[in-house]
Chains A and B, each alone.
Chain A
Amino acid sequence: MDETTLTLESLQAQLAAQQSTFEMHQAMNVEVFYWWCTAIMMMIHAGFLAYEMGASRSKNALAAGIKNILALAVIIPTFYLFGWWIYNAFPSGLIPSDASAALPWAASMGPDVSDMGTGIFWAAFALFGATTGSILSGAVIERIRVSAFLILTVFLGSAIWILAGAWGWHPDGWLLTDLGYHDVGASGVVHAVAGFFTLGVLINLGARKGKFINGVAQTIAPHSLPMTLIGLMMIIFGFFGFLGGCIIFNGGDTGWTTIYNTPTNLSAFAFNTLMGFAGGVIGCYIATRDPFWTMSGGLVGIISVAAGLDLYSPTLAFIIAVCMGFAAVWFAKLLEKRGIDDAVGAVAVHGFTGFVAVILVGVFAGGTPNMGENPEISFMGQSLSAVIMALVGFIPGYGLSLLLKKLNTLRVPESAEDLGIDEVELIAKPYPEASTPASTESEVPNKLANVEPQGV
């Protein structure tokens, strides 16, 4: 070996070069990780597409599908235009702080050789927003106007949830700094917010024609239950991208952390995501013996433990998920008794489960410290935060849909509902060679329906 390469200066130069190479590859690994999380999250939308089309009657199948596709298409650009700015500007409440770098005319909001983080984090958050907006989509099928839905979903997916995200899913969010809020897998900021926003919309939208006869809930059977089940499983697959995107891939020697800067790793998420999924399926199956609810149980299970994915023992996560499977079905029945027609159980699966999931972190992980000066996780902090999440979702959902209702732009006319939105609006048939007429009634008994007449 040439002796001149062994001088201190040359060794320092080699070390610096290797360090630079290492740091570049580490930054590239971060990008690669979130790139694939985002790609896997697209499967959530393939799943929503399949399950909402399947859950509709055939006369509305394409309308349900195109509504879902357009939701994705409008949330992505609107999240670029103002969603990312909201996240960065509102951690302290309703008064914006300086977040000019997140505005759509900032140089940082585009290709930049020196910035390997902004674009990929924006993409992951945009897909979180699209998921949130799509939670509304299934509940309102077969009677909402596409234009009204798009207005509502833009508000939910690009403004409302990300405001909650700024408060409870940001290292400086006031729910964390004041209440010690812990919600690593977005049970509250995504699912509770979206679920309660949906509840507000459903109150104003009303039930599908034929859903309640003399106050008794009827089954409006999905036209393709198998498509619905496959769609739900695709959503479960996409959840691995979603939850992967919830963890922070740090540079340096820090390793994985939660969004609250507390240490964790993908192994923790893996244990409890899978145990939650299994528990939710079992709970909903025992509670209903119904295929749709059994598969929805997978979602219930994951959402029920998502807030504490990093903290729960796997067996506890499993038990929580089983219990929440029962509880979500109970809540869905309760809503139906109240005359709420949630076509896919979104309020129970996402809203109620997400709400309880946030509180359960306070029950089972209360006293766990947060980083720095932030208060520890507590039952009171989690409970208050859960209520805030529900209100952040419900109030704008109810208010905005009420405004659209007053303007007579929320719901399709009864004649269009009778004929089917596909034929009236899209001038298309999903199965042109099929001869089975659409029906508002089904011979399949409603396993969730109340048996006593109720005021509607």
Chain B
Amino acid sequence: MGTSITTWDNVTAYFTFADSPIMLALFALGAAGIIVGLIASIMKHENEAFDKLK
């Protein structure tokens, strides 16, 4: 773990996993999953709430 650098000399992208596109892609997938999950959970909550009105 940690950032992608070992020295501040001639540094460019220095954030965590900047040197690992695969890890960054996995994080992106995770972030996308959270958004999809959020909307799905809202939809589920709405369905349950509306069912109680029947």
Q: Chain A: residues with CB nearer than 8 A to chain B? A: 70, 74, 77-78, 80-81, 104-115, 145-147, 150-151, 154, 409, 412-413, 415-416, 419, 424-425
- Cα–Cα, bound, A414→B44 (Å): 18
Contact with A along B38-53 (1 / 0, CB 8 A): 1110110110011011
> Does B12 contact A115, Cβ atoms closer than 8 Å?
yes
Known: A150-B42, A419-B53. A105 touches B13 (CB 8 A): no
Find out whether the CB atom of B42 lies under 8 angstroms from the CB atom of A147. Answer: yes
CA distance A232 to B18 in the complex (A): 41
Q: Which of A104, A115, A147 contacts B46 (CB 8 A)?
A: A147
A425: contacting residue among B25, B35, B46, CB under 8 A: B46
A147, B28: Cβ atoms closer than 8 Å: no
Whether the pair B39, A147 counts as a contact (CB closer than 8 A) is: yes
- Flag if B21 contacts A106 (CB, 8 Å): yes
Taken residue by residue from 2 to 32, chain B's Cβ proximity to chain A (1 for < 8 Å, 0 otherwise) reads as 0000000001111100110110110110011
Is B50 in contact with A409, judged by CB distance below 8 angstroms?
A: no
How far, in whole Å, are A103 and B25 apart by their CA atoms in the complex?
9
A145 contact from B12, B18, B46, Cβ within 8 A: B46
**Smallest distance from the beta carbon of B39 to chain A beta carbons, Å?**
5
> Contact at B28–A104, with CB atoms within 8 Å?
yes
Selected contact of A112 from candidates B13, B19, B54, CB within 8 Å: B13
User: Given A105-B24, A145-B46, 15 other A-B contacts at CB below 8 A?
Assistant: A74-B35, A74-B38, A77-B31, A78-B32, A105-B21, A105-B27, A107-B13, A111-B18, A145-B43, A409-B43, A412-B50, A413-B50, A416-B49, A419-B53, A424-B52
| Bound-state Cα–Cα, A80 to B30, Å | 13
Kindly name the residue among A77, A110, A154, A412 whose own CB sees the greatest number of chain B CB atoms within 10 A: A110
